[in-house]
Structure 1
């Protein structure tokens, strides 16, 4: 199941980076096809435990029949809350693979891929109500402009936002084909690349991906045991910047902390990867999605 669902990226590198203790407690924040989780379980003994988070209901299909696994069907932004519900205060390692699973791209009706015509959905968690179609319908022109510029790095995001506003006044944009036709005049350069950037921006907004990532990172210093490792795999520069910034100081509010306490707060982490680890040429050949993957690792002091 797992190979067709999702090929895990940087599998050996990320699991090795966790420095697994056989009787430790570990968290896979993005269970997906279960590839990383299975590799972690191989290194745990009967006392070890693995918490597997995934907000996508489809991921449950890939759960191994293993009593050491506790599946949490939630967004990883709720990490601490659900660990506490299971009476766990500290863990020995946390892994998050922030890539969208191949399964989500391949399921036409989910609306993640430009290859199919389907509703403009893009929800990773089907329980939430906000869809990409809702954003296209309700966001102001300036909100659309900002979203495409910041989350998709779309060069003509201002023009795109203006065209969407004009087109939705004529008729509702509900499907992928509706959208492509509505914004045809805005497409610059390679249409495939252009729509990939536009869809990325919408997906990040629908799922509040950056908000969730920041919330996850902020919880990690208090959740990890000393010597515990945090390994994050990112797939684009925007995500990588968030992770790199946090790893550098262990906070997002360094300047506020300086003003408040009159001194620099000590970073709770030791950086393990001075430069991010990337996929080997062999892995890139085997799995094209690994080309943009970057793995950063820190250890709790």
Structure 2
């Protein structure tokens, strides 16, 4: 599990209520931890499809005739399942966010701990990297993503500083960016603020919230009648979208009601919000912000 220590492993798979002959999808394969547990619970007739756009994850492919790894972004889940002859499934698992492997590889540029190129692309074939955003986005656009995705109140000042500094020299690495922004990084809050800045840039690079919305919108048409959705999120922006879609089937506004006051939400939640135990957080500190929500089709 050195590639990625799966978070809320048993809770998230329990949430899928695995049927031995069922068809399941793990849309965030990574190190394969969750996929292996699903396969452990499937019988010979079961099937598991997994998605991962990161070429590094392909090295973790599981040698099992019940398993198919699709090297694509899970925003295209319906399209690629149809390609494999599948229209409806019994369960879908999503473990959102960045894998431990991506954080720990300095050259990927995800981590504030290492000196590395400002990359942050989950899909290495993608044209837009963090370097492009930092060095080419307008001050207004930078401020917008820092405010929306990093929830930084001083986003305008940070954006202004980046734009001013890049006129003198292109900002190429994580430590260069850290140096440029040192006036905004008081010792007591340095890690927290840098994490917010990196999160905002990473979300923009990978279009993470757009991908999540596109994925969630496909769920009602993909699940069988008693099918389950199990989603682990790591920050409030993701969790809000997941929670709201499960509750209303929308990302903003409220569902329309008929003349009898009934609305037609496609999903309903199963159980309560689940968070990691203190023991799990002690073993894997990256689990500390995880939230698991489970849903099924509304009858």
TM-score, normalised by the number of residues in structure 1: 0.95
Helix, strand or coil: the match of 2:282? helix
**Structure 2 CA distance, aligned partners of 1:264 and 1:136?**
47
Shift of 1:24: 0.4
In the alignment, which residue of structure 2 is the partner of 1:28?
Answer: 26
Q: How does 1:79-98 map to 2 (within 5 A)?
A: 79-98=77-96
Please, which of 34, 48, 55 is the counterpart of residue 50 of structure 1? 48
Corresponding residue SS for 1:190: helix
Q: Is the 8 A contact 1:109 1:119 kept in 2?
A: yes
In the alignment, structure 2 segments of 5+ residues that lack a partner are: none
Q: How does 1:8-23 map to 2 (within 5 A)?
A: 8-23=6-21
Asked whether 1:118 is paired with 2:116, we answer yes
Alpha-carbon offset, residue 155 of structure 1 = 2.9
1:258 to 249, 256, 259: 256
Aligned equivalent of 2:290, options 289, 293, 300: 293
Aligned to 1:207: 206
In structure 1, runs of 5+ residues without a counterpart are: none
Aligned residues: 297
User: Matches of 1:252 and 1:178 in 2, distance apart?
Assistant: 37
When residues 199 and 298 of structure 1 are mapped into structure 2, their CA distance, relative to the original with a 3 A threshold, is: same
For the pair 1:244 / 2:243, whether they are aligned, the reply is: yes
With 142-151 and 262-271 compared, the bigger mean Cα shift is at 262-271
Whole-angstrom distance in 2 between the partners of 1:164 and 1:264: 50
- Secondary structure of the corresponding residue to residue 53 of structure 2: coil
Whole-angstrom distance in 1 between the partners of 2:247 and 2:155? 31
1:99, distance to aligned residue in structure 2 (A): 2.6
Secondary structure of 2:115's partner?
coil
User: Pairwise CA RMSD of aligned residues?
Assistant: 1.7
Give the CA deviation at 1:259.
Answer: 9.2
* Segments ≥4 residues shifted beyond 6 Å: 259-263
**Could you say if the C-alpha distance between residues 254 and 184 of structure 1 is closer, same or farther in structure 2, counting changes exceeding 3 Å?**
closer
In 2: Cα distance, 1:282 partner to 1:185 partner: 37
